[in-house]
Amino acid sequence: MPVIRDVMPAFELFQPTSIADTLGLLSRHDDAWIMAGGLDSFDWLKDRIKRPSVIIDLGGVGELRGIREAEGGVEIGANTTLTELSSHPVVREKFRLLAEAAGIVGSPQIRNQGSIGGNLGQDTRCHYYRAGWPCYRAGGNICYADTPTAVNREHAILEADRCVAVSPSDSAPALIALDAQMVVRNADGERIVAARDFFIGPWLDITRMTVLKQGDLLVSIRVPGTFAGKSHYFEKVRDRQVWDFPLVNIAAAMATSGNTIDDVRLVVGGVAARPIRLVAAEDAIRGRTRNEDTAQLAADIATRGAVTLRHNAYKVPLMQNLVKRAIRGEGAWTS
């Protein structure tokens, strides 16, 4: 059947005005689709690749929007726009890497409309999957991106398990690097999930990118003061400089005394189905001097176990170089 992409299929739309009502709606409709800014949602719905019968628009839920200071850190409402996040004075001052990461998503128009919750909840950009091919992630039994003739320049080099799609989010690695916590609610109550555990690989569930299940609402993101005002780094490499999804991005937060690394978080996106925290590299460089040898050491450890596809081997040296640049602290701020 031909698909008329500009015309929406039929569904019920709900526009709740409180978190409580949203949770009630979610518990009553077991195939409800949550829509925040709608940037990612629109694509799926227009193309008829996802066909929910109910859409819940978060636009009217004021409680989900805004940033407030809390215990040395900040709490960010899930429906806060990326523009609000990247331009917020406290975020800019204390959590520069998050401001930079949110401020380099897409274009100004995209950041004005896209929410942080949607940026974290967005699905992978794998073009086979997004075009509606019946791959593993879509419930089928093949990965079209991992065949001898596949176009897979943007796909995974780490942790692939049947599916080789990657996490495209720019804000996700930044939040993991800052030890953020996700506040998730459903009809049964609230749970707090570490950002690091929020994103999942195909081995856990090949059809999802995060721990959010049907009925779950991401309410807010808490960024603790742990790395407030410390040494931060964010860099994104993309095909086009004006705007583009990341090929690989890196977020790093570092606490130092003099030139010694007391504590560090290194997180890389675009290389696996979830942003990867480089724990082994972090452990190897904690207590060391921030210099070229340390950068090299971390880079060597970072890509251990990498498996490349036909067109994405470039991601190995790219990722290593980004790790080195993060440890050197080479200036990469864009604003």
Partner 1 sequence: MIACKVNGTSRRLNVHPMKRVLDVLREDLGLTGTKEGCGEGECGACTVRIDGVPVNSCLVPAAHLDGVSVETIEGLGANGKLHPLQDAFVVEGGAQCGICTPGMIMAALQLPRGASTVDIQAALAGNLCRCTGYEAIYRSVKKGARGR
Ligand X SMILES: Cc1cc2nc3c(=O)[nH]c(=O)nc-3n(C[C@H](O)[C@H](O)[C@H](O)COP(=O)(O)OP(=O)(O)OC[C@H]3O[C@@H](n4cnc5c(N)ncnc54)[C@H](O)[C@@H]3O)c2cc1C
Binding site for ligand X (CB under 6 A): 33-41, 58, 78, 82, 105-106, 110, 113-115, 117-119, 121-122, 168-170, 212, 217-218, 245
Q: Which of residues 42 and 203 has its CB atom nearest to partner 1 in the complex?
A: 42
Contacts with partner 1 by CB under 8 A: the residue count is 26
CB of 257 to partner 1, least distance (A): 36
CB of 318 to ligand X, least distance (A): 16
Beta strands in the chain (DSSP E): 12-14, 32-35, 54-57, 67-70, 73-77, 181-186, 189-194, 217-223, 231-237, 248-257, 260-269, 276-277
CB of 238 to ligand X, least distance (A): 7
DSSP code for 122: P
Residues 6 or more apart whose CB falls under 8 angstroms from that of 204 comprise none
Q: Which does 15 bind (CB under 5 to 8 A by kind): partner 1, ligand X, none?
A: partner 1
CB of 78 to partner 1, least distance (A): 17
As a whole number of angstroms, the distance between CA 57 and CA 37 comes to 9
Name beta bridge partners: 331.
none
CB of 132 to partner 1, least distance (A): 15
Q: Which of residues 13 and 204 has its CB atom nearest to partner 1 in the complex?
A: 13
Nearest residue to ligand X by CB is 118
Q: Which does 78 bind (CB under 5 to 8 A by kind): partner 1, ligand X, none?
A: ligand X
Residues 6 or more apart whose CB falls under 8 angstroms from that of 61 comprise 16, 17, 18, 19, 22, 79
21 lines the binding site for partner 1 (CB under 8 A):
no
CB atoms within 10 A of CB 11: 14
